[in-house]
Amino acid sequence: MSTTLDMAQLDLRAVNTSLQAAAKAQANDEFVIENPRGSHAMACGLDGAIRVTVNGSTGYYCAGMNQEAEITVTGSAGPGVAENMMSGIVTIEGDASQYAGATGHGGLLNIKGNASSRCGISMKGIDIVVHGNIGHMSAFMAQKGNLVVLGDAGDALGDSLYEACLFVRGEVKSLGADCIEKEMRPEHIELLTDLLARAGADAQPQEFKRYGSARRLYNFNIDHAGEY
């Protein structure tokens, strides 16, 4: 049994207050939000195992700081969706704007459409699966976690990358500083198989290439000064 929150009748504060109270109570409740009208900062800071479906599109910072909750947006999401996500699952049925999943520490961000620039910037453990394409500077300074792209990647993928793993099935326009193609070993095939299954993605792990850090920029070296 789900509870419907209609934003034609309730303001954003009332909606978020209801969601946060249920999450705090660990009620395992299910909510459906109608008429979101592109509202910003929706379903943020949830820290309990509740399920939220947003019927429509959202503005910036939807599902930020998520812990344990399962949030689905049936439309598209504005900038910063699932920023600083800690755990749980956030699914965007449409497209996501820039810096989706930024600084995420854990959980799964599943984007069924395309993601704009800087997807996964400074990611710190989150898993991000994009079924379409991603824009430029994605995974910039990514430290930990996995970014899976079924489509193409824009310019400067993985610029100044640390230890995150990037898997791209399509074309990569260019690699950023210190990002190189790496061997797909059996453990990466196993990891990617699991991520694709969790995201419901129609792809085979053998179709992807893996990219990671060349580890030349961890410490300043004058021989590599031109790459900084």
Question: What secondary structure, in 3-state letters, does 1-45 show?
Answer: CCEEEECCCCCHHHHHHHHHHHHHCCCCCEEEEECCCCCCCCCCC
pLDDT at position 227 over 60: no
Share of the chain above pLDDT 90, in %: 92
Can you name the CATH fold of 2-227?
A: Pectate Lyase C-like (2.160.20)
Share of the chain above pLDDT 70, in %: 94
pLDDT of residue 216: 80
User: Given pLDDT bands bounded at 50, 70 and 90, which one contains residue 26?
Assistant: confident
153 versus 221: which is more confidently predicted?
Answer: 153
- Domain map (residue ranges) of the chain: 2-227
Q: Tokens for 19?
A: 């969601």
Instruction: State how far the alpha carbon of 24 is from the alpha carbons of 19, 31, 162, 219, 224, in Å.
Output: 9, 14, 35, 43, 49
Please state whether the predicted TM-score (pTM) of the whole model is above 0.85: yes
Q: Tokens for 196?
A: 């694709």
